[in-house]
Amino acid sequence: MRFSVSLIPTLKEAPVEAHTASHRLMLRAGLIRPLGSGIYTWLPLGLKSLRKVEAIVREEMDAAGAQEVLMPAVQPAELWRESGRWDFYGKELLRLIDRHEREFCFGPTHEEVITDLARRELKSYRQLPIHFYQIQTKFRDEIRPRFGIMRGREFLMKDAYSFDMDAAGLDITYRSMYETYGRIFRRCGLRFRPVEADTGSIGGSASHEFHVLASSGEDVIASCSHCDYAANLEKAASGPLAPPTTTPAPQPLLQVATPGKKTIQEVSAFLQVGIERLVKTLVVEGDGQPYLLLVRGDHELNPIKAAAALGVRQLVVPEPGRIAELTGGLPVGFLGPVGTTLPVLADSALEASNAFVCGANTLDHHLTGVTWERDLPRPRFADLRNVVANDPCPRCAAGRLALDRGIEVGHIFKLGDKYSKALGVTVLDQEGKERTPIMGCYGIGVSRIVAAAIEQNHDDNGIIWPVALAPFEVEILLANPNDPLAKETAETLYADLHAKGIGVLLDDRDERLGIKFKDADLLGCPLRVVAGGRALKEGKVEIQVRKGGDPLQAPVGEAVTTLIARLQSLLAAESQG
Ligand code: ATP
Ligand code: MG
């Protein structure tokens, strides 16, 4: 591609709305342009990179034996009513009405459509296992679209769905997808980590997310320093905490004045008591029923774990006004479990606590010296909190948990028979009996990968593409278009690289070399060749690696082989995972 005739609208400054490196750089390098909130046009360079991700995903899915299909983006509401999700999915679902007043949605995911296909086309155990995938535009009316295409409303996803005769079959398919995902992300040159994920309201039996490690990631993942345990914070558990080394001696129950001290920090400072000796009392509503949840002062409630422990579908943390209503007008900020009439559930870390501090249910007062059994009944204990750095690993005795940030780029899920049962898929087994196939589903955020790759690979000057995803592997900078020797060298190199199947961008613009260098840094092609200047007078071109290192010179005649060898060694180093 020739820079002079292409749409590569680079920007000196990043638009103010861009808060992450990838968003800024995708706008500045002219890869994408916004059309509306969370919807973007992919410009030529961005699209090239997107297509590369697609090609890698397609090759690996084909190699794993999945069959590519393309399902409609627009789906009839009836199908979603059959699965029960029309009402449950809420506002993320973009709903449409056609000229006959029939309801549709723009697919945020395709379980219903693939299951409908399966019930029509699958008849016999001989057809199973079978596995379908597609690469397609999805729409989710995200409450907070942000970070550019990272969390768009319209985005490109690879979604796949497998059908097996039984759970043992699904185990094999799931394992194979786990391995396939590893290969895909390694080939993309990403540093990633598979983690255990919450199976949530879909109620499947196992799930893993694949996270690209990046400080700007929206997710927190916990991993063990010693074994291979890793989980999303939503799901991560801690091993049992050692009992506090300084267990306080028994203390009398006292009500103390804490005027205006509502937060844990304020109370801890005011009473001169360590924050871990305080107990936070939280009022929540689970499926409309109020509960009191207790967690240690230095811990945070994990609503997903709490919902599971209470056995409720939906957990809501009510507004202060509603809390006052639910507690019969008790002062928010001074709530506590002593004397409450609400059902109480406490985090397991509190099991060994005694002589703790909590709200007194009286304005401007707290209780100190609170002791289980003596002052209040021992409640039910369950894992209700987010793990924190340095918690013991739940799997091995030796390890401690570390927390990192990640960008979710893939998600695999054992669905079980939820959809196949709801939509009535049956196949005949070897004995001629009707059986319900067991499903798995497997998603990859194809467009999100482009942003995640940039998030992980950039510097102050621009993008540093991994070779596998670079719009072009090589950029040739023609130092001076009016110098016939430079022009001829650049054109020959351009044609030769093309002939070898190397993606190459030729900056043939009538611009100063300084500007070309700046844009080349911003665009981030892995290798850059300068045709011109003193080197060319000596029959050489200068080659630079965008990742860094000293430039090297190669005789014009050896430039192509030198560049190809460089690309291969970069590619090999990047696909280590
Ligand atoms: P998230 O927690 O980030 O909202 P999700 O759990 O809703 O993701 P899935 O339903 O598992 O996502 O979708 C499969 C993949 O699609 C995700 O792993 C992610 O990479 C991608 N994806 C999901 N939502 C978006 C979005 N709004 N923009 C871009 N990619 C997305
Ligand atoms: Mg989501």
Residue 241 confidence (pLDDT): 82
Closest protein CA for atom 3 of ligand 1: 408
With bands split at pLDDT 50, 70 and 90, how would you rate the model's confidence at 198? confident
Residue with tokens 């993320």: 92
Q: What is the mean pLDDT of residues 277-304?
A: 94
Going 483 to 485 to 491 to 494, the CA torsion angle's sign is negative
CA angle 214, 59, 547 (to 5 degrees): 40
Both structure tokens of 410: 């893939």
Is the C-beta atom of 141 inside 6 A of ligand 1? no
pTM: 0.92
CA angle 491, 497, 498 (to 5 degrees): 90
Q: What is the mean pLDDT of residues 365-392?
A: 94
Beta-carbon count within 10 A of 230 CB: 22
Is the C-beta atom of 28 inside 6 A of ligand 1? no
> Is the predicted pLDDT of residue 202 greater than 70, yes or no?
no
With bands split at pLDDT 50, 70 and 90, how would you rate the model's confidence at 144? very high
Beta-carbon count within 10 A of 226 CB: 14
Residue 328 confidence (pLDDT): 87
Is the C-beta atom of 138 inside 6 A of ligand 1? no
316 vs 444, more confident: 444
Integer-rounded Cα Rg, in Å, for the chain is 29
Closest protein CA for atom 22 of ligand 1: 445
Residue 245 confidence (pLDDT): 56
> Is the predicted pLDDT of residue 203 greater than 70, yes or no?
no
Is the C-beta atom of 409 inside 6 A of ligand 1? yes
Per-residue pLDDT tens digits for 543-576: 999 999 889 999 999 999 999 999 999 999 998 7
Going 80 to 81 to 84 to 87, the CA torsion angle's sign is positive
Of all residues in the chain, the percent with pLDDT exceeding 70 is 98
Pocket test for ligand 1, best of 411, 441, 450, 455 (most atoms within 8 A of CB): 411
Q: What are phi and psi of 488, to 5 degrees?
A: -65, -40
Per-residue pLDDT tens digits for 53-106: 999 999 999 999 999 999 999 999 999 999 999 998 889 999 999 999 999 999
CA dist 131 and 246 (Å) reads 57
Query: By the 8 A CB rule, do 132 and 67 touch?
Result: yes
Closest protein CA for atom 14 of ligand 1: 443
Q: Which amino acid is at 465?
A: W
CA dist 256 and 279 (Å) reads 15
Residue 6 confidence (pLDDT): 97
> Is the predicted pLDDT of residue 417 greater than 80, yes or no?
yes
Query: By the 8 A CB rule, do 462 and 521 touch?
Result: yes
Q: Which amino acid is at 574?
A: E
> Is the predicted pLDDT of residue 214 greater than 90, yes or no?
yes
Of all residues in the chain, the percent with pLDDT exceeding 90 is 89
Query: By the 8 A CB rule, do 14 and 29 touch?
Result: no
With bands split at pLDDT 50, 70 and 90, how would you rate the model's confidence at 353? confident
Question: Of ligand 1's atoms, which has the minimum distance to the CA of residue 151?
Answer: 28
Closest protein CA for atom 2 of ligand 1: 408
CA dist 245 and 265 (Å) reads 22
CA dist 11 and 522 (Å) reads 9
Both structure tokens of 59: 């090759």
Pocket test for ligand 1, best of 408, 412, 442, 444 (most atoms within 8 A of CB): 408
Q: Which amino acid is at 280?
A: K
Q: What is the mean pLDDT of residues 446-463?
A: 97
Is the C-beta atom of 151 inside 6 A of ligand 1? yes
Half-sphere exposure of 75 (CA within 13 A, CB side): 29
Q: Are strands 344-347 and 380-382 parallel, antiparallel or unpaired?
A: parallel
Biggest alpha carbon distance in the chain?
94
With bands split at pLDDT 50, 70 and 90, how would you rate the model's confidence at 354? confident
Q: Which residues, in sequence order, are bridge partners of residue 97?
A: 103
Q: What are phi and psi of 312, to 5 degrees?
A: -110, 155
CA dist 356 and 527 (Å) reads 62
Q: Output the average pLDDT for the chain.
A: 94
Closest protein CA for atom 21 of ligand 1: 445
CA dist 50 and 80 (Å) reads 30
Q: What is the mean pLDDT of residues 251-269?
A: 94
